[in-house]
Structure 1
């Protein structure tokens, strides 16, 4: 099943990141883009999410230097754009894969594209990893560990449900019961022509 592959790669990414556990570490994708395109995209997608997860931790430091915080905010903005771009690349992969499928007359559209559901699965992998850390943190209280274990159980159940839903969606698209219709993310805040603040700084 596709979700098995995705979840395995997401776990691989998160474990690899935490060997060094710094946001500035070198990124190396072990999957060749030409021979293993979807694996390459999934690995890159989860790496972006993992780095951004830790950006979000850092920027919440109440003692962070304001200049450093501004720089980090810019990095988070860039990361958000990379995340959106990767979602669109993954959807392009599925559009190409199913381009010859003829939707049935009663085929319906899903509320989200496959890649946006996969985006949620990647974030969920990060939640599970870090909640498991908290559930087993030796310097935490017993009450804290138990509360985190309860949350972890829910997250694990959620991953099963989301994985099942993604696999079913892909099967429905492949069978012509659903069809893909992807809308590009028309982000405005990074566009010098659409953001009035940026437009005002142009000379």
Structure 2
């Protein structure tokens, strides 16, 4: 099943990141560019680095200048994340381009790649909640609460994985069809963001 394949790659990316656990470490993709695994690994790496950017920027003692630099990195990361989702959806569009859509076929509320995006974030939540549930320096109450949350996350993983695989099966059978709407983000566009537009020239 695709969800299991994707989740395994997400776990690989997360584990690799935490060997150094440094947002500034060099990125290396172990998969060939023409392999969907390449996109999945890159996608999760972006999510993992941004997860830790978000931790750092919440430091109450962070200097304003450093916070601004980090905010810019988070903005760029969000754009990279969106781009990768669209690349992944393009993979599915190409894969299913010859499928004949049934007359009563319906469209899903989100594309396959945006569901996979949620699975990538969920893999990060599971990893970090498991860390908390296994902390030997934490109170029993803390460990117990985190274990309960971990159990819920694992149930969510099961449900989301099933939903992703069902969606892909339905698309392949022509029962559902997909469209990709390019994300029309305005805040990074000098022509659409009035603040950036005012600074031009």
What TM bracket, shorter-length normalisation?
Answer: over 0.9
What is the aligned partner in structure 2 of residue 16 from structure 1?
Answer: 16
What is the aligned partner in structure 1 of residue 190 from structure 2?
Answer: 192
What is the aligned partner in structure 2 of residue 151 from structure 1?
Answer: 149
SS of the residue corresponding to residue 91 of structure 1 reads helix
Aligned equivalents of 1:26, 1:199: Cα separation in 2: 34
Q: CA deviation at 1:139?
A: 1.1
SS of the residue corresponding to residue 92 of structure 1 reads helix
SS of the residue corresponding to residue 182 of structure 1 reads coil
Question: Is 2:56 the counterpart of 1:52?
Answer: no
Select the residue among 104, 120, 123 that pairs with 2:121: 123
Aligned equivalents of 1:54, 1:139: Cα separation in 2: 22
Question: Is 2:103 the counterpart of 1:105?
Answer: yes
What is the aligned partner in structure 2 of residue 41 from structure 1?
Answer: 39
Question: Is 2:13 the counterpart of 1:5?
Answer: no
- Superposed CA deviations along residues 72-114 of structure 1, whole A, max 9, x for unmatched, are 0000000000000000000000000000001000000000000
- Superposed CA deviations along residues 109-167 of structure 1, whole A, max 9, x for unmatched, are 00000000000000000000000000011111100000000000000000000000000
Structure 2 unaligned regions, length at least 5: none
What is the aligned partner in structure 2 of residue 202 from structure 1?
Answer: 200
Structure 1 unaligned regions, length at least 5: none
Q: CA deviation at 1:40?
A: 0.3
RMSD: 0.4
Q: CA deviation at 1:181?
A: 1.1
What is the aligned partner in structure 1 of residue 27 from structure 2?
Answer: 27
Aligned equivalents of 2:38, 2:135: Cα separation in 1: 33
- TM-score normalised by structure 2 residue count: 0.99
Map 1:65-80 onto structure 2 (within 5 A).
Answer: 65-80=63-78
Aligned equivalents of 1:195, 1:39: Cα separation in 2: 35
What is the aligned partner in structure 1 of residue 89 from structure 2?
Answer: 91
- Superposed CA deviations along residues 8-65 of structure 1, whole A, max 9, x for unmatched, are 000000000000000000100000012x2x1000000000000000000000000001
Q: Which runs of 4+ in 1 moved over 3 A?
A: none
Select the residue among 112, 115, 118 that pairs with 1:114: 112
